[in-house]
Amino acid sequence: MHVVRRRSDALPFSRRIISCIVIAATAFTSVFAFNPTQTFAAATNDPLIDQQWGLTAIGAPSVWNITRGAGVTVAVIDTGSGPHPDLDNNLEIGRTIFDPIDIAGMVDVDMKGGHGTVIAGIIAAVADNGIGGAGVAPQTRILPIRVLGTNGDGISDDVSKAIRFAVDSGAKVINLSLGGKDEALPLTKAIQYAVDRNVLVVAAAGNGQADSTPKWPAASDLTLAVTAVSRNNGIASFGQRGDYIDLSAPGVSILSSAVGVFDPKLCPTSSPLFCYSSGTSMAAAFVTGAAALLFAAQPSITAAQVRDVLQRTATDIGAPGRDTTFGYGLVNLVAAFAELDELFPKIITASVTTEGHVGALAVGTTSTSAATATSQWYRCTAPGEATTSKPADCTAITNAVATTYQSTVKDLRKFLRYSVTITSGINNSIVSTIFSATTIPESGAWITTSTLSSKTKTPLAELLRSPSKGLRTFKIVNGSCKLRNSLFVAPAQPGVCTLKVSIAAKAPFPKLGFTTVITIS
C-alpha cells in the first residue's frame, strides 16, 4: 500500500500527499523467508503457479470453472502497470494523472519499482500462457492509472481525478493500494462518486503496525478496507488494527509480476520478472480480484451486494465476529460463490406448449442464465402448477431428455410436464430443478375445427383425427346438422350442432369417445 503523506505543512487540505503502501524491498527478508519446497496444487500450466499460495488460500482456482473474470474491468490507481509479458494481454490503454501531467493513452506507465505492476499481476496476470503465474481473475481487464511518482508519492487531488476517470471509463472495481494519515475531502467525494455509480472501491488498510493511526481512504466507510495475513492466517507483522478494517487477504510472501525490482534475491527466476513482496497493498489486490470474479459471474449484482457477500462469507479467523485485527475474516471465494447461487437462482421459468393429443410434438421452454441445462419430460395423472419439487403423481418418461417430446399412446389422458435441471456452485454441488405447469390432458381423438361455414359438406375423415384404427361412429345429438355418406353437412342457417364421436378399441388404443360442439357460421 502506498501511504498518503503531506508534502509540507503548507499544503491545503484538499492536496494530501499519497504514496503506495508496501513494505520496502530492503525489508522483505525480515518479513518472510522464501521456502522453495512449499508448493500448492497447480491449476494452470503457468510454471510459478505452485508458488502462489494466496490463490489457494482464498479459493480462486476452485471457482475458475465458473468464471475467470471475463467482461469486467478493474482500475489500478497506482504507479502504473506494465508492460509485462504476463500482463500485457489484459492491459487497457492507461492514463497518467500526476500534477501537472495529464496524459491519456499511456501503456508503459509503471514508474516506481513495479508496485502497480505487482498489484495488477495479483489481480489479473494471464493464466495458461506458460508464463509466470496467474491472477485471481486472469481474464479481467486492467485499466492502469498512474498517480504516483518515482519516489512513490503523489497528491490526493490526482487520485480523486483518477477515480472519476476510472468510473467514467467503465471500471467495476477500483484498487487503491495507497493512502495516508489524513482525510482529503475531494478524495472522499470522488469515492462517493464511484459508490453512487455502482463501483466497488477496495483500499489497503496500511502497514503502520498495530498502534498506527488509521490510513485514508481505507478508513472511510465508503471503501472496503483490507489487511494482510500470512500463510498460517496470522496477522502480518506490519498489519494495522482498527474497527475500519473489513477483510483479510494474503499479503506476505506474495509472488507476482514485477518490473524494476530492487533486490533480485526476492525473485525465484533468473530474470526479475516475477518476485515476492509483502504488504496490505497485495492483500487489497486479492480482494479486488475476488470482487471482479463475482461481478463476472453475475453481471446484475451491485457493488453493495459484492461487498456484502465477501464480508458475510469470509472465514472468521480471529475473535468471533468482526474484530479489529482481521475484520470479518479471510476472503473465501468458495463460500462467496455458493452464496451467489442462493442470491441469484439461475432458473427463472419453465413451460410446455402442446396441441394436447397423442402423436403431437410438445415443446419445452425455459428462461435460465445457466450455460448448460438438462431436460426431462414427465407424464402425470393430475394437473398442477409449476413447482420446484417433483409431484408425486408424475413419472419420468424414459429417454425423453430433449427440449421437445412426441407423445405416445402411453400418454393418453395424462398430463405432460417439462423439467429443467442445472448444477452450479463449487464442483456443481448445488442442483436446482423446476417443473413446468401442466396443460390439457393428452387425447387420442380430436376434431380439426370447431367452426364450419353454412351449407358446407366436410368429410368426416377430415373433421376427426385419431391415430387409433378402431371403427368410428358419429351421431348428431343436437342441432340441424346432418350426416350423409360420410359427410358432415352444415345447415343453411347459423347455429350450433352437438356431435358425439366414438372409436372402438383397437390395440394399442382403448375405446375412445367424446362429445363436441360445432359452430355454424
- Active-site residues, by number, are 78, 115, 281
Three-state DSSP class for residue 452: strand
> Cβ-count burial of 321 within 10 angstroms (0-12 exposed, 13-18 middle, 19+ buried)?
exposed
Three-state DSSP class for residue 257: strand
Helix axes 333-343 and 303-312, enclosed angle (nearest 10)? 130
Whether residue 332 contacts residue 317, with contact meaning beta carbons closer than 8 Å, is answered with no
* Cα torsion angle, 317, 321, 327, 331, sign: positive
In DSSP terms, 3 is beta-bridged to 179
Given 3-state DSSP classes, what are the helix, strand and coil percentages for the chain, each rounded to the nearest 5?
Answer: 20, 30, 45
Amino acid at the residue 264: P
Three-state DSSP class for residue 396: strand
Half-sphere exposure of 180 (CA within 13 A, CB side): 22
Instruction: Please choose, from the candidates 174, 110, 115, the residue with its C-alpha nearest in 3D space to the C-alpha of residue 142.
Output: 174
Whether residue 77 contacts residue 203, with contact meaning beta carbons closer than 8 Å, is answered with no
Other C-beta atoms closer than 10 Å to the C-beta of 243 total: 12
Three-state SS annotation for 25-82 = HHHHHHHCCCCCCCCCCCCCCCCCHHHCHHHHHHCHHHHCCCCCCCCCEEEEEECCCC
Strands in 430-435's sheet, in edge-to-edge order, are 394-396, 374-380, 415-424, 430-435
Instruction: Characterize the bridge pairing of strands 200-204 and 173-176.
Output: parallel
**Alpha-carbon span 394 to 380, nearest angstrom:** 4
Instruction: Please choose, from the candidates 484, 481, 477, the residue with its C-alpha nearest in 3D space to the C-alpha of residue 513.
Output: 477
Listed in sequence order, the residues at least 6 apart from 301 whose beta carbon sits closer than 8 Å to its beta carbon are 294, 295, 309, 340, 343, 344
User: How far is Cα of residue 448 from the mean position of the Cα atoms in its chain?
Assistant: 49
